[in-house]
Amino acid sequence: MGDQDESSSSSFSMGKSAQERGLSYVPECYVIPTSHRARLTPQVAPVPIIDFGKFKRGSDQERAVVIQEIRTACRQLGFFNIINHGIHKSVLDGALSMASEFFELPGSEKAKFMCNDVHKPVRYGTSFKDGVDEFQFWRVFLKHYAHPLDKWINSWPNNPPNYRETMGEYCREVMKLSLEITSAITESLGIGPTYLTKKMENGMQVVTVNGYPPCPKPEMALGLPPHSDYTCFTIVLQSFPGLEILHAEDGKWNLVPQLESALQVLIGDHFEVLSNGLYKSVVHRATLNTERTRTSIASLHSLGIDEKMGTAKELVSEEQPQRYRESSFRDFLNFLSANAIAEGKSFINSLKLV
């Protein structure tokens, strides 16, 4: 989550967004059709919980069980929670705290990073656009590239004063975890644990820090529209529930429950391509509430910006012909610049051959 923008063709207002003004009503440009609205009391998703400690430190038998659990989760939902992932709770809490502190800064401070160019490696935005004729979402965000960390960290905000140090520690730990998750997923596909190791070590980590302010009528708007992520996968940390996933079989939206210190893993478009459709990228959205700002940190992991992801040849046969064309992170950015994601344009659909 977090790779979808509503900013590709419009300029941002340099003032406060509608959300930040504390409006007592929902402006018409935020109101979504009744058929697309979230329920105030959504059904909670039966999300698989993967004990990642058993993958890293367990017996061969325990490790094999975890691999099978990941395989099942990726085939059925494209989504799972992981616990015992090795990142200390203080690191998770520190990252969420920095996210909240950044969004609480004066508008003039955040505006230093305001930009509507999706190719920029560091940028801040709100969904508020000049004019009222374009559809908007109830969200503010900060995006920055994060790997290799020493290349990008000095371009991040230095206010709050500890942002770079605290968020940098989180990004470093999540990057290490992402390589372990990659190994587990490729092993679960039967193509081996080192299939993508080198490419992911040299790949992209894009971190999207999201803020979803209180909304007076949360059922009438969304923080993010339904979408799948262009990445191999996304690792999400959220302050409290608000992430919903679409169950492919029954077409119903389910709320992802909160688990203490857990992280969420969302399969992205490029792993759907790699798996030749065996694993599906999960469609998800961000919902709102009336009480407080929800923050989430989405760490999106992919190959290098111009490295093409194609289907593993081991997963192609006469019975299972190749179903997708290859693409890169830059291809996605170009797609995002030219298409209205909020209107239902899908990057993964543009890759399908059959």
Using the predicted structure, report yes or no on whether residue 9 has a pLDDT greater than 50: no
- 203 to 187, 272, 282: CA distances (angstroms): 19, 18, 21
Q: How many domains does the chain have?
A: 1
pLDDT in tens, 79-106: 999 999 999 999 999 999 999 999 999 9
Interval 55-71 mean pLDDT: 96
Rounded CA-CA distance 195/191 in Å is: 6
pLDDT in tens, 324-353: 999 998 998 888 887 765 555 688 999 999
> Domain range holding 149?
19-351
5 within domain boundaries:
no
Q: In the prediction, which pLDDT does 119 show? A: 84
Rounded CA-CA distance 309/274 in Å is: 7
102 within domain boundaries:
yes
Which amino acid does the sequence have at 269?
A: D
Task: Give the CATH number for residue 238.
Answer: 2.60.120.330
4 within domain boundaries:
no
pLDDT in tens, 239-293: 999 999 998 777 889 999 989 899 999 999 999 999 999 999 999 999 999 999 9
Rounded CA-CA distance 97/99 in Å is: 5
Q: In the prediction, which pLDDT does 133 show? A: 40
1 within domain boundaries:
no
How would residue 117 be classed by pLDDT, with cut points 50, 70 and 90? Answer: confident
How would residue 62 be classed by pLDDT, with cut points 50, 70 and 90? Answer: very high
14 within domain boundaries:
no
Q: In the prediction, which pLDDT does 12 show? A: 34
Using the predicted structure, report yes or no on whether residue 294 has a pLDDT greater than 90: yes
- Burial annotation 211-235 (CB, 10 A radius, 16+ → b, else e): bbbebeebbbbbbbbbbbbbbbbbb
Using the predicted structure, report yes or no on whether residue 234 has a pLDDT greater than 90: yes
What is the strand order of the sheet 140-145 is part of? 49-51, 79-83, 263-267, 233-238, 294-302, 204-212, 140-145, 122-126
Using the predicted structure, report yes or no on whether residue 31 has a pLDDT greater than 60: yes
6 within domain boundaries:
no
10 within domain boundaries:
no
34 within domain boundaries:
yes
